[in-house]
Structure 1
Amino acid sequence: MKKFITTIKNIFSIEELRGRIITTMLLLVIFRLGSYIVLPGLDTKQLAGGVSGGFFDMLNTFLGGAFSRASIFALGIMPYISASIVIQLLTVAVPYFQRMQKEGESGRKKINQITRVLTILITFVQASAYIAGTIPPEAIMIDRSFFIISSMIILTSGTIFCMWLGEKITDKGIGNGISMLIMIGIVSRFPGALIAEAVSRGSSLLLLFLLELIALFFVVMGVILLTQAVRKVPVQYAKQVAGAKNAPSKKPVVGQRSYLPLKINSAGVMPIIFAQSLMFIPSLVASAFQDTNDTANYIATTFADFTSWQYNLSFAILIILFTFFYTAITVNPKQIAEDMKRNGGFVPGVKPGEPTAEYIDNIVDRITFPAALFIAIVAIMPAFASMAGVSQEFSQFYGGTSLLIMVGVILDTLQQIESYLLMKHYEGLMQTGSVKGRQNVVVA
C-alpha cells in the first residue's frame, strides 16, 4: 500500500502528466454531463422503456445510458467508429486509399478529413433512424416536423462535439480519446449494476454475491491475458559497421537479435462488434412475419433471447469468422517481410522475402484460431452468467465487448502513465518497472 501511495505521489509530481490527467478528467466530466441533456421538445416521462433488444442494449451500454435518455449525445462516438471501420476496409480494397495511406502524414490527414465527412453523413442517417425508431410519438411536445429537423442537427452536432472531445483527450490528455469515451460510458453503469446486484442478493445470499465477484475477477484476469498475450518471432539484424576503425578487427560480426511481437488477439473487439451488429437481423426480419408464420415466430423469439443456445452458437460462429477476417485485413505478412528485408533483418532459418511472409502467415493462422475461440467464449460469458442467476445488467460485465474495451483502454492508459514515470526516472507501476505484456527488445 505504501508503494502504491508513493507511485500516486510521483504521478502528480510530474507537471506535464498531472496536467494531462486533469485535462482528461475535465473532458470526461463534460462528456458525462452532456449525456444527461435531453433533446429539446421531449417529455422525458414518455421515454421509459423506449429502447430494448440486444443491439440497442449494447449501444446504450457503450453510451452510458445516453441512448435510452434521448440525450444530445444519444449517438455519441458510434458514427465516427462506423466511418473509421468503413475507411479502414476501403484502405484494404481500394487502391486510391492505399496510396493515401502510404503518403505518410499528408495521406493520414486526407484520410482523417474523409473520415470526418463520412461521419457527418452517417450521423444524419442514424439520427433519422434513431428518431423514427426509438422516440415514441406521444413523447414529442412540439411540432413533429420541426422536432425531427432540429433533433437531427443537434444529434449530428453532438457526435461532432464528442469526436472533438476524443481528439482533445488524445492530444492534450492521457490515453486514446475515442476509446476513453466508450470506456467511461461502460464504467459509469458498473457501480449501479454492482449495487443493484448486491441489494438483490441481500444479507442471506452474501456468500453467493462474493462468489460472483470472485468469478468476475478470474474472468477479468483471463481477458487481460488474452489482451496482452503475444507470440514472439525471433528476428536477426546484421550489425552495422561504420568507418574503418573496425576493419582491422578479426572478431566475428555479432548480429543484433530482437523479437517481432505478433499479438494473439490482433482483431481486438472488432469481431464482437461486427457479429453483434448482425445478430439483431434474424429477429428483426422474422418479426415482420411472425403473425402469419410459426417458423418466423420461433426465429423471432429465439434470437430475441440472448441466453438461447441458438443465439449463442450463431454468435460464436460469427465471431470466429470475423476474427479471421479482421486479422487478415489488419496483419499483412508480406508488408512485414518486406520491411524486415529492407532493414536487413531476417528470421533465423528462414529465407528473406516470400518464405518469411509465408512463415509469418502460418504463425498468424495458428495463433488466430485459439484467440478466436477465446473471444467467442468471452462474448457468450454474459449469457452463462445470466443463466446462473446474475442480473442481466450486471452479467454484461462478465464478458463481451464491454469487458474487452475496459481492459484494453485501462491497460493502454497505464502504459502511457508508466512511460512518463520511467522518463522522469521514477519507479513504474509494477515491481519490475514495466506493465506486464509490454514488448522489450532483447539484444543477444
Structure 2
Amino acid sequence: MSDQDLAELDKMIAKARQKPLAYGLCLGKKPEDNVLYLDLKKAPEVMMRKAKADGETGKVTCGEAEVKGKILTLTVMGKTLPGLAKNMKAFMSKQGMKMKIIIADPDGNVLESDGDEDLGDEVGVGEAAPADEIAEQDAAEEPVADDPMAGQWAKVSAALTPLVDRFVAAGSDKAAPVSAAWQKAHDAAAKGDYKSALAAAAKIKPLVTAAPAQQASTPDDPNKAKWDAVQGPLEGLYTSAMDKNPENRTKLQAAWAMALEKAEAGDYTTALTIAGKLKPLLDAAASAEQSGQEAEIPADVVPFQKSRVLWIDSRKKMFEEMKKLENAIIATCKGDPELEPIAAEASDLTGRLTVFDETLQDMLDQITNTPSGPNREGLKKQALGTLKSYAAALNEPFFKDVDGNNGFVNVSVASTARASLASIAKVLAA
C-alpha cells in the first residue's frame, strides 16, 4: 500500500469507531504487504475487487470493520481465510496501530482471535462480546483526534472519484489536466492538507459534472442521456439515505455500486434498470423517521441521534444554498471583463463552509453510544464547545450578510445553521 493509502486507512480506522465500515482485503505474501481498503459508502464487494486489483495474491475477502476500544472486529461476509486474525495483527502492528483482532461471522459469532492478551481480555475467544461491555470500553477511550476536514474530504473523494474516472475515460481534451489535478488533490490529502484538496475538488467538480454535450459522448445509445439525467439526483438521494444508516445499508451500497459500474462500462440499460429498483428503497430510507442505528438505541439518547441527523441535513442544505449563491454570482458576472474576478472568486464560496464540519455530528454519535453518566456528560460539554465555535463563525461579517444582503439572490445559509444549532443546544443543555 502507498503512503497515501496508509494515511487514508488511518483516517478510516478512526471513522470505524463511530460505525461499521465496508472493507476489502487482499493478503500479501507477507502480512506487511496486505492491502486493506475501507470506505464509508461503497459495498464490501466493491472494496474487495479494488484490494484484489492492487494486491499480490488471490487470497481475498470482504465484510465490515468496526473498532471498539482497542479491538478491531472484522466481520467476514466473503471467504473465510485461515489464520486471518494473527495475520492482520501483524499487519496493523506494522502500521503502528496495535489492536486486538477479532474475526466474526455475520451473526456476530467469533471465528478467530489473535490470542494477544496484552491488550486485555475484552472478548473471550469463541464467544461474542456483550454490546454493553463494548460500549463501556469505547466510552472510556479518549475521543480520537482528527482533522475536522478529513471527513468532508472522504465524502468528496468518494463522490467525485467515479466522475473523474468517467471524465478521463471519455477522452475529453481536458482529461489529462483534470487527472493531474485530481492526483495532486489526493497527494495534498495524504499530507493532511485537506483545505488544498477540497479547494482543488471544488474546481474539478464543475468540469466532470458538466452536461454530456461538453464531454465525449456515445450518441448511439439513447440510454446514456437518460442515465446522465438520473445519476445526479439519485446520488443525492443515496447520500441522504446513507446518512440515516438504514438497516439495509449493505444491500443499498451494493446496488448503487453495481449501477455505477454498469454505467462506467457503457451498459446504461442495466444501470437504469438498477436505478429504477433502487430509487423507492432509497426514498424509504431517506424519509424514515428513525435511522437503523436509532431504532436500536435507548430512548434517553434518541434526542441526541435526532440532533445528529438534524445537523447532517442542515449542513447539506447550507452547501446547496451556498452553491445557489455561487451560480447566481457567476451567471451575473461571467462575460463582463470588469466583473470576471468576482465570478472567479465566487467559485470558492462553498469553501467558507468548511468551518461547519462533521465534528459536531461525530460527537453526537459518540454521545448516542455512551451510557448515561460522567463520560456522556463530558462529551456533551465538548459538543457544546464545538457548537459555540460554530456560533462564533456565524457572527463574522460574511455570514451576517450572506443570506439577504449579498446583492445577488436571497439564500438561507446562516439562518439554517442558526436554527439547527439553537435546537441542538437545547438538547445538549438538558
Both proteins in one fold, TM over 0.5: no
Which structure shows the higher strand fraction? 2
Q: Where is the helix percentage greater, Structure 1 or Structure 2?
A: 1
TM-score where L is the length of structure 2: 0.32
Question: Considering only CA atoms, is the larger Rg found in Structure 1 or Structure 2?
Answer: 1
